Amino acid sequence: MKLLSSLGRYRRVIANFFSLSLINGVSYLIALFLVPYLLHVVGEERYGAYLFIYVVAQYLMLVGNYGFKYSATRLVSVFRDDKEKVNAIFNATMWARVLLTVPAVLAGYALVYLFMDSDDILMYLFSLGMVFGDILIPSWLFQGMERMKYLTIATVVSKLVFALLIFVFIRSQEQYVYVLLLHSFGYIASGLLSLYLAVKQFGIKPGFTTFAAMKEQIKDGWNVFVSNIGMEVYRNSNVVLLGALVGDAAAGIFGAVEKLIKAAQTIFNALPMAIYPYISHRFYNAETKNNVSTIYRMLKWSVLFLLPVAIIIGLCNPFIAKYLALPVDIVSGIVWLIVPALLFGCLNYISGIVGLVNLGASRLFQKNIWIAGISSVAFMLLTCRSYSYYAAAAAWTLAELILLVLCILSLNRLKAKV
């Protein structure tokens, strides 16, 4: 009975965990099928070119997401019983995303037009459906309300639409320019379905808002946004730097392996993502010392669970190589250099986002991320010409390790102040 009572208390967290696990599991399965298929059909060089523009689109989406994934989630979790407040947060956040995205898209187009060829420009235009489709997905609303099953429905639909379109329409090397267009169809489908679910399930009334309300949301999410930029510096810039300094073929090889590993990492992060809104609600007006102790317990249990899983993934490198039709020695080296990043990355999510952000130390987390990100880029610039994809893999793990050490030191500092 005691166990059932405890489970009942955490039923939302458990339901959200399974919803996020389903999203991430579907993402991983789709990646398992799509990455080798695209690599085979379009070739390493064209796959690398596609990844380059894909990363550019991810940066634009980063601007649109700003810090709302965590700042707006926290606000919704705190005020989720006040429908009018939640509706005001929804409209202010959605319009703030539009306000931030439009100039970023125009600036991105100017850069691509000036420095890229016609195929890259076309792919950039095709990718804009991803960027604006993502704006329509209020993931922070579903997460803050702790109703992730609705986001699961929208996301799974998006990914299945995209996967089906790829297998139907991408049949030759020359068609690689259309991959991002098909990505866009998936994002737009997910966005429209997400809006419908937000209106139907939570009584959201989309409408206009004031500039002051948008400004308030932007101000609240600033530190997290700067942190997100730093995080993207070491998580996505490796492909860009490889493509620019070594070549599209090297970027394609590393990008294919990295995509599968990142898909696995999303499964690792399902639990801390599910816990984030619960912790936001629980930490509100609670004692910092007790909150830090809670984070330490989460870190300890996460290590015990994730370490053996990370080792198993590392041992699977021959299968990954065979699956991607790439040399075993190359894939093995990349995988073993990346595997520690899976463990460190999840611990960073817990110590940094679930911990420091919810403890009101967003600026401290921002500083830690930028130190890690700059260290990663410096390492890449010094080593990637000589060690190619191995340098990119090592840079990712190095950044996650540096960030973990800094976050632990920050948590100790917060606890000592009390």
Residue 10's pLDDT is what? 58
Q: How do the residues of the chain divide into helix, strand and coil, expressed in percent and rounded to 5?
A: 90, 0, 10
pLDDT in tens, 201-242: 888 999 999 999 999 999 888 887 888 787 777 777 787 788
**CA–CA dist 295, 312 (Å, integer):** 26
Give residue 7's pLDDT.
43
pLDDT tens, residue by residue, 178-188: 889 998 988 89
Distance separating alpha carbons of residues 242 and 338, to the nearest angstrom:
16
Q: Worst-scoring range by mean pLDDT, 16-30, 70-84, 215-229?
A: 16-30
Q: Residue 388 pLDDT more than 70?
A: yes
Q: What is the mean pLDDT of residues 77-104?
A: 92
Mean pLDDT, residues 94-117: 89
Q: 255 near 34, Cβ under 8 Å?
A: no
Which amino acid, 200? K
At 131, is the pLDDT very low, low, confident or very high (cuts 50, 70, 90)? very high
Q: Which two tokens stand for residue 168?
A: 């139907």
CA neighbours closer than 13 Å in the CB half-sphere of residue 353 = 28
Residue 160 structure tokens: 């299945």
350: which 2 tokens? 């817990």
Distance of CA 50 to the CA centre of its chain: 19
The position carrying tokens 């379905």 is 193
Residue whose tokens read 């926290």: 74
For residue range 107-124, what is the model confidence (pLDDT) as tens digits? 988 888 887 778 888 999
Inform me whether the pLDDT recorded for 4 exceeds 60. no
Exposed / middle / buried, residue 110 (Cβ in 10 Å: 0-12, 13-18, 19+): exposed
pLDDT digits (tens, 9 = 90+) for 230-285: 777 777 778 778 887 888 788 888 888 887 777 777 666 666 777 777 777 677 66
List pLDDT tens digits, range 132-147: 999 999 988 988 887 8
Comparing C-alpha atoms, which of 57, 55, 140, 131 is closest to residue 98?
131
Q: Is the pLDDT of residue 355 over 80?
A: yes
Q: Tell me what the pLDDT averaged over the chain comes to.
A: 84
The two structure tokens encoding residue 98: 């539009």
